[in-house]
Chains A and B, each alone.
Chain A
Amino acid sequence: MLAQTARSFAVAVALVVCAALPAAAQQVVKLAYIDPLSGPFANVGESGFKHFQFVIDDINRRNLAGGFKLEVVGFDNKVSPQESLTQLKKVIDDDLRYVIQGNGSSVALALADAIQKHNDRDPGHEILYLNYAAVDPDLTNSKCTFWHFRFDANSDMKMEALTSFLAQDKGIKKVYLINQNYSFGQAVARAARADLGRKRPDVQIVGDDLHPLGQVKDFAPYVAKIKAAGADTVITGNWGNDMTLLVKAAKDAGLDVTFYTYYAGGLGTPTAMGDAAVGHVKQITEWHLNLPTKETDRLAQEFKKKYNIDWYYGRVATAMYMLAEAMKRAKSAEPVAVAKALEGMRFQTELGEVEMRAADHQLIQPLFISTIERSAANGGPKEVKYDVENTGLGFKTDARIEASVSAQPTSCQMKRP
Chain B
Amino acid sequence: MEFFLVTLLNGVSYGLLLFMLSSGLTLIFSMMGVLNFAHASFYMLGAYFAYSISTRIGFWQALVVAPVAVGAIGMLVERFGLRTVHRYGHVAELLFTFGLAYIIEELVHLVWGRLPVDYRIPAQLDGPLFAIYGTSFPIYRGFMMLVSVTMLAALYLALTRTRIGLVIRAALTHPHMVEALGHDVPRMFMLVFGGGAALAGLAGVIGGNAFVTEPGMAALVGVIVFVVVVVGGMGSLAGAFIASLLIGCLQTFSVALDWSIAGALARLGLQPPPGLLVTELFGITVSQAAPVLPYLLMVLVLILRPRGIMGTREA
Residues on A lying within 8 angstroms of B by beta carbon are 40, 42-43, 46, 181, 209-212, 214-218, 220-222, 224-225, 227-228, 241, 244-245, 248, 252-255, 267-268, 271-272, 274, 391
Which of A43, A217, A227 has a CB less than 8 Å from the CB of B115?
A43
Tell me the bound Cα distance from A181 to B14 in angstroms: 23
Chain A residue nearest to B223 in the complex (CB) = A215
B115 touches A211 (CB 8 A): no
Task: Name the B residues within 8 Å of A210 (CB-CB).
Answer: 288
Contact across chains for A211 and B136 when beta carbons are under 8 A apart: no
Q: How far is the CB of B279 from chain A (nearest CB, A)?
A: 15
> Residue of A at shortest CB range from B2?
A228
B residues in contact with A241, CB < 8 Å = 116, 212, 214, 216
24 A–B contacts, CB within 8 A, in A order: A40-B215, A43-B114, A181-B288, A209-B255, A209-B288, A211-B290, A214-B220, A216-B291, A217-B211, A217-B220, A218-B252, A220-B10, A220-B252, A224-B10, A227-B134, A228-B3, A241-B116, A245-B212, A253-B138, A254-B134, A267-B115, A271-B116, A272-B116, A272-B214
A221 and B118 form a contact (CB under 8 A)? no
How long is the Cα–Cα vector from A37 to B294 in the complex, in angstroms? 32
CB of B131 within 8 A of chain A?
Answer: yes
**A residues near B291, Cβ cutoff 8 Å:** 211-212, 215-216
Residue-wise interface mask of B (124-151) relative to A, using a CB-CB cutoff of 8 A (1 in contact, 0 not): 0000100100111110110000000000
The docked-state distance in angstroms from the alpha carbon of A214 to that of B291 is 11
Q: For A214, what are the chain B residues with a Cβ–Cβ distance below 8 Å?
A: 216, 220
CB–CB A224/B135 < 8 A: yes
B242 within 8 A of A: no
Instruction: Say yes or no for B256: interface residue by CB 8 A criterion.
Output: yes
- B7 at the A interface (CB under 8 A): yes
Residues of B within 8 A of A (CB): 2-3, 6-7, 10-11, 14, 113-118, 120, 128, 131, 134-138, 140-141, 210-212, 214-216, 219-221, 251-253, 255-256, 287-288, 290-292
A222→B115 contact, CB < 8 A: no
The listed residue (A217, A221, A267) touching B256 by CB distance below 8 A is A221
What would 17 more interface pairs be, CB under 8 Å, given A214-B220, A216-B291, A244-B116? A217-B211, A218-B211, A218-B251, A218-B252, A221-B11, A222-B255, A224-B10, A227-B134, A241-B212, A252-B140, A253-B136, A253-B138, A254-B131, A255-B135, A268-B116, A268-B214, A272-B214
Is B252's CB under 8 angstroms from A209's CB? Answer: no
Contact A271 B115 (CB under 8 A): yes
Q: Is the CB of B135 within 8 A of A225?
A: no
| With contact pairs A217-B220, A221-B252, A254-B136 given, residues A211 and B288 touching in the complex (Cβ less than 8 Å) | yes
- CB-based contact B136/A271 at 8 Å: no
A371 vs B285: C-alpha distance when bound (angstroms): 33
A255 to B138 CA separation, bound complex (whole angstroms):
12
Query: What's the nearest-Cβ distance from chain A to residue B298, in Å?
Result: 15
Considering only CB atoms, which chain B residue lies closest to A215 in the complex? B291
Q: Which residues of A contact B7 (CB under 8 A)?
A: 221, 224
Measured CB to CB, the closest approach of chain B to A391, in angstroms, equals 8
For B287, the chain A residues whose CB sits under 8 A away are: 209, 225
* CB contact under 8 A between A268 and B131, given known A216-B291, A217-B221, A220-B14: no
- CB of B216 within 8 A of CB of A272, answer no
What residue in chain A is nearest B17 (Cβ atoms)? A218
Distance of B263 from chain A, by nearest CB (Å): 14
With A217-B221, A245-B211 already in contact, the answer to whether A42 and B255 are too (CB < 8 A) is no
- Output the least CB separation between B51 and chain A (Å): 12
